[in-house]
Chains A and B, each alone.
Chain A
Amino acid sequence: MVVHELLAPAGDLERLKIAILYGADAVYIGGPSLGLRANASNFTLEEIKEGVMFAHKYHKKVHVTVNIALHNKEIDGLLDYLKALEKCEVDAIIVSDPTIMQLALKNTNLDVHVSTQASTLNIEAVNFFEKLGVKRIVLGRETSYEEIKSIIDNTNVEIECFIHGAMCAGYSGRCVLSNFLTARDANRGGCSQICRWDFNLLDQKQNKLVGDKDFTFCIKDLSMLKYIPKMIDMGISSFKIEGRMRSIYYIATVVSIYRQVIDKYLSDKNNYRYDLELEKILTNCANRDSIPQFFDGNYDESVQYYNGRVEVSNQDFLGLVLDYQDGIVTLEQRNYFKPNDQVEIFGPNMQTISLTISEIYDEEGHLLDAARHPRQIIKFKLREKVEPLSMMRIKR
C-alpha cells in the first residue's frame, strides 16, 4: 500500500519542530555541506541529530539534501560526511550526483532519493536509477499528470512530486544564470534568483521590444491543493513542499492545510469536498499567484509574472503562542494588531479558534491600545486552552 507522505522544508531546528508538530510526515533539511541552500541557516551535525531525535519521537522522518554539483575538492571528505549523517540516524539523503548515490548505497544504510536536480522526466531514467538501488525519485517539475501516472504504473521505486512553492524557470540544474551574472554558483547552493530580475528584450536586430512591463523569466508559484485527491489516487508516495528559507508561519500554514486535505480525502473519499476556505488561507499566506504548472499540461503565458506587479509583504501572522495559563495567553508579537481585531488561532492538534481581541497587556501588565513592536510579549484572556507554538493570524 502506498503511504502518502507530506514532506516539509525546514531551514533550522525551530522550523523542523513546527513542520512536524503541524502535521508533516517528514522534513527535508540542509546539512553543514553539500546542499543547495548554501546561504540558508543550515543544520550542524549536532542539530541534525537533535532534529532526527525530535522527528523520530513522533515517528516522522528526516531527509538531508546532499544534492550539490560535486567538485573535485569535495570527493575526499564525502564518505565521512555520509557516515556522519548515518550516525545521526538520518532516514534518507536527497542526491543528484550518482557518485554520492553509489557511495551511500554501498557504504551506508541511508535511503537514497534522487533529487529533482536530476530532472528525471521519463521511465527510462527512472529505470536506470531503480537498478542503481535508489528508494525514491523526486520527479522533475516539468512532468504532467499523464507522465507521472505512466511512470508510477511502470516502476517499483517511490515517486515524490512537488505540491507547493516557488518554481525554477528553467529545468532544475540547467540554469547557471546566477554563475554568469553574479558569480554565485546556482548548482552549488548560491542561486541568486536571476529569473526574477527584469531585462530588456531585444529583437534579432537588437531593437528593444517594448511591452507594458519589463521582460522577466519570473514564474508563478506551484499549488496543487485542488489536485491532492488525484495525486493520492495515482499513487504518488510523497508530496513535497518547497521552501527551506520560508518562515515558521508559512510552514505551519502550508503544512497544516495540506495535512487537512490529505486526511479528509483519505478518511472519506466518497464524501470529500474541496474546501475553498483552506485555499483562501493558503493563498493569503503564500502571497503570490499559484497554479498547477505542468501537471495539467498547460504551460503557456499564464504561468509567468511580469515586473510591476505589487507584492505586498504578508502581515497575517500576528504572533506565536508561548504559553497558556489560567485563561491567559502569552504571545510573541509578529505583526501589528489591536483590540477588536478579528483573529484566529490555529495550531497542532486543535480546531482553529476564531475570536475578537479584547484587552491586551504587555509583560508588566500595562494595558495597551495596540501591539506595535515585533517580538513584544503580549498577554490577553482566552477561554479556550491553546498550546505553545500555536499561531495567531488575521481572520480574513
Chain B
Amino acid sequence: MKLLESLYNLDNINDAADGYIIGIEDLSINFKNYPLSELKEISLLCQKNNKELFVSLNKNMHNQDLAYLKEALLLIDTLDIKGVLYYDVAVVNLHNTLKLKTPLVWAQEHFTTNYQTMDFWYQYGAKYSFVSAELTLDEVLTINSKTKANLIVPIFGYLPMFASKRNLVKNYLKTFKIKDDSTLNYMEKEGKIYPVIDNKDGVVVYSSHILNGLREMLILKEAGVSYVYLNTFLIDDMREIIKLYQDANKTNALSFEKCIDEMLEGNTDKGFLYKETVYKVK
C-alpha cells in the first residue's frame, strides 16, 4: 500500500508520503492547485524524489473549459503522471478521443460507491478509483475484493462535503455590506465549525472533524488496497502525521492514532467508516 497526500507545499516533496495529488488551476477543486505551466517542473521534482504524482482535473466542466482541459490532458500525457482524477465525464471523452495513455482515476467524490461502476469506468481507462468518503469500511473492503480498479481510499483529513458554482459566502458579505478579506471562512452550527472556501470556482465546504483512520488503514493494507489518501488541507503537523501513518503497525497503531488525535486537539473522528448513512427514514 502506498500513501498519497495533497501537496500544499512543494517543500514537502521529501516527506514520508509515497506520492502526491495536486490540482491544476481552473480545472480542479478540493486540492492545492498549481498553474499548468508549473506541472512539468513539479513532475520532475517528484521523479527526482522517487514520488508518484497524480493530477486532479476534477472540476465540473463547462464548454468554455474544454479547450484548456484538452491542453492540460495533452501536456499530462507527455509527463510522468501516474493518473488523472476526474469528476466530469468530459475528461473521459477527451481522454478516449485523443487516445491518451495516462490512466484515469474515477473520482466523482460521492458517487464512487460500488464495484460495478468502478469496473464500468475501468473499461474507459480509469485504472484507479478514488473511493467515496461516505462508505463504511466494510463497503470499501467489499469493493476492493470485487473491482478490477486500484483503489485510492481517503483515510485522513477534512472531507469535502459541498461544492457550488455560486459564490455563496461572497454573496452574503456583499448583501449585508460586510468587509472581510478572508481567503478561508468557517460556518458554525451547534458548536461544530466547518471550513469554507469561496473563490473564483465557487464555494466548497469541508467536514467539521478530521478523519483519522490510521488503524483502518492497516486493515485496508492487509486487504490489499493499493492507496490511501491523506488530505493535508489546514493541517499544520503533516510531516509528522504522514510519518506516523507510514510507520504504523499493529503494535503501535492505537498509540499513534491517539498521538495524532492529541496533535489535532481532539478534533478527529472516524467519518463514515462505521456509520452507515440513512437511506430511508423509518
The answer to whether A binds B is yes
Which A residues have a C-beta under 8 Å from some C-beta of B?
A: 38-39, 69-72, 74-75, 96-99, 102, 118-125, 127-129, 140, 142-143, 147, 150-151, 169-171, 173-177, 179-181, 183-190, 197, 199-204, 206, 208-213, 215, 217, 219, 294, 299-301, 303-304, 306
Segment with Cβ contacts to A, from B6-14, B31-39, B62-70, B255-263 = B62-70
Q: Are B188 and A200 in contact (CB-based, < 8 A)? A: yes
B233 in contact (CB, < 8 A): no
Q: Are B161 and A180 in contact (CB-based, < 8 A)? A: yes
A-B CB proximity, top 6 nearest: A211-B176, A124-B90, A301-B171, A204-B182, A185-B277, A202-B186
The CA-CA distance from A294 to B164 in the complex, in Å, is 12
Q: Are B186 and A185 in contact (CB-based, < 8 A)? A: no
The CA-CA distance from A121 to B66 in the complex, in Å, is 11
Closest partner residue, chain B, to A304 (CB atom): B171
Q: Which of B224-282 contact A (CB under 8 A)?
A: 272, 275, 277-281
Q: Are A303 and B171 in contact (CB-based, < 8 A)? A: yes
B166 in contact (CB, < 8 A): yes
Q: Are B93 and A142 in contact (CB-based, < 8 A)? A: no
Hey, which chain A residues are within 8 Å of B277, CB to CB? 179, 183-185, 188, 190
B80 in contact (CB, < 8 A): no
Q: Are A189 and B90 in contact (CB-based, < 8 A)? A: no
B113 in contact (CB, < 8 A): yes
Segment with Cβ contacts to A, from B15-23, B46-54, B115-123, B149-157 = B115-123
Q: Are A174 and B163 in contact (CB-based, < 8 A)? A: yes
Q: How far is the CB of A131 from chain B (nearest CB, A)?
A: 8
Q: Which of B157-178 contact A (CB under 8 A)?
A: 159, 161-176, 178
Q: How far is the CB of B27 from chain A (nearest CB, A)?
A: 13
Hey, which chain B residues are within 8 Å of A39, CB to CB? 280-281
B199 in contact (CB, < 8 A): no
B111 partner, pick from A128, A173, A180, A300, beta carbons under 8 A: A173
Q: Which of B88-136 contact A (CB under 8 A)?
A: 88-90, 92-94, 108-111, 113-117, 120-121, 132, 134-135
Closest partner residue, chain A, to B91 (CB atom): A124
The CA-CA distance from A203 to B193 in the complex, in Å, is 11
Hey, which chain B residues are within 8 Å of A300, CB to CB? 167, 171, 174
Q: Are B62 and A121 in contact (CB-based, < 8 A)? A: yes
Q: Are A128 and B92 in contact (CB-based, < 8 A)? A: yes
A70 partner, pick from B65, B113, B159, beta carbons under 8 A: B113
Q: Are A119 and B164 in contact (CB-based, < 8 A)? A: no
Hey, which chain B residues are within 8 Å of A119, CB to CB? 60, 88
Q: Are B89 and A38 in contact (CB-based, < 8 A)? A: no
A204 partner, pick from B109, B163, B174, B183, beta carbons under 8 A: B183
Hey, which chain B residues are within 8 Å of A301, CB to CB? 170-172, 174-175
Closest partner residue, chain A, to B169 (CB atom): A201
Q: How far is the CB of B98 from chain A (nearest CB, A)?
A: 11
| Residue of B163, B165, B169, B281 most packed against chain A (CB within 10 A) | B165
Hey, which chain B residues are within 8 Å of A210, CB to CB? 178
Q: How far is the CB of B143 from chain A (nearest CB, A)?
A: 6
Q: Are A122 and B61 in contact (CB-based, < 8 A)? A: yes
Hey, which chain A residues are within 8 Å of B279, CB to CB? 38, 185, 188-190
A147 partner, pick from B62, B110, B117, B205, beta carbons under 8 A: B62
The CA-CA distance from A38 to B135 in the complex, in Å, is 19
Known pairs A125-B89, A190-B278, A202-B187 / 16 extra A-B pairs, C-beta < 8 Å: A71-B139, A75-B115, A97-B114, A122-B63, A124-B89, A125-B93, A129-B89, A140-B60, A173-B108, A177-B205, A184-B277, A187-B111, A201-B187, A204-B185, A304-B172, A306-B172
B180 in contact (CB, < 8 A): yes
Hey, which chain B residues are within 8 Å of A151, CB to CB? 63
| Residue of A118, A183, A203 most packed against chain B (CB within 10 A) | A203
Hey, which chain A residues are within 8 Å of B132, CB to CB? 69
Given A215-B172, A301-B171, A174 and B280 touching (CB < 8 A)?
no
Q: How far is the CB of B218 from chain A (nearest CB, A)?
A: 22
The CA-CA distance from A177 to B134 in the complex, in Å, is 11
Q: How far is the CB of B211 from chain A (nearest CB, A)?
A: 11
Closest partner residue, chain B, to A175 (CB atom): B162
Q: Are B121 and A98 in contact (CB-based, < 8 A)? A: yes
Q: Are B187 and A212 in contact (CB-based, < 8 A)? A: no
Q: How far is the CB of B82 from chain A (nearest CB, A)?
A: 23
B142 in contact (CB, < 8 A): yes
Hey, which chain A residues are within 8 Å of B165, CB to CB? 142, 171, 294, 299
Closest partner residue, chain B, to A148 (CB atom): B63
The CA-CA distance from A124 to B183 in the complex, in Å, is 33
The CA-CA distance from A190 to B183 in the complex, in Å, is 32
Offer 5 A-B interface pairs, CB within 8 angstroms, sorted by A. A98-B121, A142-B60, A171-B165, A202-B187, A213-B176
